[in-house]
Every structure is written in C-alpha cells, then in structure tokens.
Amino acid sequence: MQTHKAKQVAITIEAPMERRLRAALEEAGVTGYSILPVIGGSGRSGAWSAAGQVGLAGGMVQVVCIIRPERLDGLLDAAFAVVERHIGVVTVTDCDVLRAELF
Amino acid sequence: MDGFLTLAAANLGSPLILSFALGLLAALGRSDLVFPEAAAKALSIYLLFAIGLKGGVSVADHGIDLRLGAAIMLGIVLSAVLPLIAFKLLGVMTKLDRTNAAAVAAHYGSISIVTFVAGTSVLESAGIASDGFMVAVAAAMEAPAILSALWLISRGGGEQRMDADLWREILLNGSIVLLIGAFVIGMIVGADGLAEVSSFFVSPFKGALCLFLLDMGLVAGRGLRRSRDVLTPGLLAFGCLMPLIGALVAGGGGALIGLPTGSLFLIMVLGASASYIAVPAAMRVAVPEADPGIYLTLSLGITFPLNLTLGLPIYLALARGIGGG
C-alpha cells in the first residue's frame, strides 16, 4: 500500500500551558493535533499522579501532531517559544501515513 | 484550655477529619486506594456550588450591610500582605532562593477553599452563625497574593511571565466562577429557591465533604511520601508557623472591622490556609522556574492537614476569645 513520509511531534507539557501551546500551534498553521491525558510520571520535581487531583497545576498533557516534514521547523519554533522555560519533553519521530491529504 | 481541648477532640473525632486521616494513612501506607480524577473534580464542583449557594441565600435573608464591603476589602488586603510576611519569614527560616520563596509566599496569601468549607462545617457543628458574604471574601482572596509574589520576583530582577491571558485565567478560574456564580444565584433565589434544591445541596453536603476530604488525604499523603527530600526542617517549621501568623493577622483585621465570632473564625481560616489549586496553576505559567515540588508539598502536605486537624479548633478558640460567643 502507498504510504507517505511524515513527522510525528509529541509535546508533553504542564497542563496549565496546554491552551497556550494550542494557540501557538494554530498560529503556526498546525490545525490538526490530539491532546492526550497523562496519568502520572516522574521528573525533576519528583513523581506525580493525576489521580484525585482537582487543579491543573500538578498535571501534564501530551499534544501529538503529525505534519509534513517541510513544516517541522515552523512547528518546533512555535512550540519552543511556549515550552522553553517549562517542564516538558518534545520528541520528533519519523512516521508513515496512509493518506497524504488527511493530516 | 478545657474549651479548646473539647473543641480539638470533637474536631479530630468528626467524620470529616477521620475521612481525611483515612486517605492520608492509606497513601502513606501505599494502599492502592485511588480516587478517580473525574470524581474528585465533580465533588469539588458540588461543594463549591453548594457553599456559594448557601452563602448567597444567607445574604438574601439578612440583607447587605457595610460589613460586606469592609470584609471584602480586608480579604484583598490580607491576600496582598500575607505573602510579604511569608516571604520575609522564608528568608529567615529557609535557604530558598528568591523565586521559590516568592512562589511559596503566594500560596500563603491565597486561600484553600476546602479548608474554608471544613471551617463552615465546624461552625455548624458548634452552632455558631457566620455571615453568608464570607464566601465572597474567600473568592476575593484568591488572586491578590499572586500579584504580590510577582512583584517580589520582579523587584529582585527575576523573570516572570504575566499577560492578559493569565489575568483572565486567574480571575475567571473555575473556583471563583462557581463560588461567585452560585453566590449570586443564592442571592436571587433566596430561602424559597434553596428549599427546592436543599435535598441535593444541603442534606448530603457533609457526606460529600467526607468523600472529598478522603481524596484530599490521599493526594496529601502521596505528595508527602514523594517529597520527603524537599522538606527541610526550616520549610517544615514555616509550613506549621505561617498558618498561625496568617490567622492572627486576619483575626486582628477581622476584629478591627467588627466581624462577629463566626465570620471572625472564617477570616482566620482564610488567612491561615494556603492555596493548592489556583496559585500553583498561575505559578506554573508565570514563574516556571519555581519548583512545584516545594510549594505543593508545603501547602497540601503540611499546612492543609495541620489546619484541618489542629488549626480549626485553635482558630475557633481564638475567635471566641476575641469576639466572644
């Protein structure tokens, strides 16, 4: 089956920054992404869990988007401006998609 | 002294505190008991709405007087000033850098609405009335502390990110919208309106609070277990001392504007409590360099349990001493 090269960018960031990240991505022309809840983890500030939490402050989310390779730099610039000073991880992975027109 | 011991024993033996203790012990003992995040959020919405509604109905019943404006002004001043005291105290008692000290200080100027709700339950059990507008005072105390902390950071040359978006998020955060919204609804519908929904918002209130405190115990216990390395003796002492200072400053201000015993107690509870919802979220955005492991552990792991168990009876005894009743 015909597949097309793409980049998957996963940005794990503090929940209070999610809205800002989404706004930055949309401003950079990235309109397709998914937001996944992160149920817990461990990092520089110690372990944490979303269980039973009422506020956003202790939580993280992951924003995942798949884009054409030539748009990667624009996305990373936009994401970096938001996450630069914050706790979080940005990863870029090569991937293949089935339908070139639908991402 | 006897009066205080009776109050403390009654408080420690109440279903609310025992539920909190169960959660705390379960977490410290590494039980797999987990409160679903969605359930915790639903319960917090219920409690905030109920407390706001009852406050609004009380104001509708008793009318608005000058004390309302004075109490709200006092709340704003307390929220702005307490971080400055906390910041100084942290400078003496700990080795925190300026950014972390200011971030911690912000939490102690703002409030814990759950401690406030538990305080209203203590008042109900003791048969002491309070002003319904204290809910509005609680809402007014959420944000000014954040400003004070940011001022402390920028005064030291530190970097902080404060923009219109963050302002909107702080001023329209869910707790404030729910508290004030339900308060206004209560003022509009009055006692007759409350009677229509009392089977949901009044009778089950304490039971729901028990479950919520069970969750808070779990969260506090997990936080404590994971953050043992963060807690130096100085920070621990600050987390125990600052609530008492906050309560005394708030009590002094409350007495100055003539609050009656019940409301005096509640303003002391607000002054003593530390935020763990609104301020941490604002600090993550505005001051990301500050370590959440420090301020969340202090406010949720140390000050919240201390206020809930020993603080409430101490503040009630003090309020009775100052205001009579």
Minimum Cα–Cα distance from B281: chain A residue: A57
Let me know if domain B36-323 sits in CATH 1.20.1530.20: yes
Q: pLDDT 10s digit of each residue in chain A, 103 long?
A: 889 999 999 999 988 899 999 999 999 888 889 999 998 888 776 777 877 777 766 688 999 999 999 989 999 999 998 888 888 899 999 999 998 776 6
Here the tokens at position A92 are 């870029």
**Residues of chain A found within 8 Å of residue B176, distances taken between Cβ atoms:** none
Query: Among candidates B274, B251, B282, which has minimal Cα distance to B264?
Result: B251
Indicate yes or no: CB of A51 within 8 angstroms of CB of B289: no
What mean pLDDT comes out for the span B238-261?
96
Q: Tell me phi and psi for residue B133, to 5 degrees.
A: -70, -5
Upper half-sphere CA count for residue B230 (Cβ side, 13 Å): 23
Closest partner CB to B285 (pick from A17, A49, A53):
A17
What would the pLDDT profile of B163-205 be if each residue is shown by its tens digit? 777 788 888 888 888 889 999 999 999 999 999 999 999 989 9
Mean of the per-residue pLDDT values for chain B?
Answer: 90
Pairing outcome for strands A4-14 and A34-37: unpaired
The answer to whether the beta carbons of residues A52 and B34 sit under 8 Å apart is yes
The residue with tokens 């309070």 is B130
Cα(B24)–Cα(B40) distance, integer angstroms:
16
Tell me the H-state helices in B63-173: 66-93, 98-109, 113-126, 134-140, 144-155, 164-171
Q: What is the pLDDT of residue B2?
A: 66
At position A47, the amino acid (one-letter code) is A
Indicate yes or no: CB of B288 within 8 angstroms of CB of A47: no
Residue B286 pLDDT greater than 90, yes or no:
no
**Residues of chain B found within 8 Å of residue A48, distances taken between Cβ atoms:** 226
Using beta carbons and an 8 Å cutoff, which residues of A are at the interface with B? 14, 16-17, 19-20, 45-58, 85-87
Interface of B with A in 182-211 (CB under 8 A): none
In this structure, of B76-85, B165-174, B209-218, B269-278, the range with the lowest mean pLDDT score is B165-174
Minimum Cα–Cα distance from A18: chain B residue: B285
Indicate yes or no: CB of A20 within 8 angstroms of CB of B289: no
Where are the domains positioned within chain A?
16-102
Where are the domains positioned within chain B?
36-323
Upper half-sphere CA count for residue B246 (Cβ side, 13 Å): 42
Indicate yes or no: CB of B284 within 8 angstroms of CB of A55: no
Percent of chain B whose pLDDT exceeds 90:
63
**Residues of chain B found within 8 Å of residue A56, distances taken between Cβ atoms:** 281, 284
Residue B51 pLDDT greater than 80, yes or no:
yes
Minimum Cα–Cα distance from A52: chain B residue: B37
Higher pLDDT, B244 or B67: B244
What would the pLDDT profile of B67-122 be if each residue is shown by its tens digit? 889 999 999 999 999 999 999 999 999 999 999 999 999 999 999 999 999 999 99
Q: Tell me phi and psi for residue B204, to 5 degrees.
A: -80, 5
The helix (H) or strand (E) run that includes residue A6 is strand A4-14
What mean pLDDT comes out for the span B208-219?
91
Indicate yes or no: CB of B280 within 8 angstroms of CB of A57: yes
Distance of CA B271 to the CA centre of its chain: 8
Minimum Cα–Cα distance from B32: chain A residue: A51
Query: Among candidates B149, B74, B134, which has minimal Cα distance to B262?
Result: B134
Here the tokens at position B25 are 């012990």
Q: What is the pLDDT of residue B165?
A: 78
**Residues of chain A found within 8 Å of residue B281, distances taken between Cβ atoms:** 16, 55-57
Domain A16-102 - what CATH class?
Answer: alpha beta
**Residues of chain B found within 8 Å of residue A58, distances taken between Cβ atoms:** 280, 292, 296
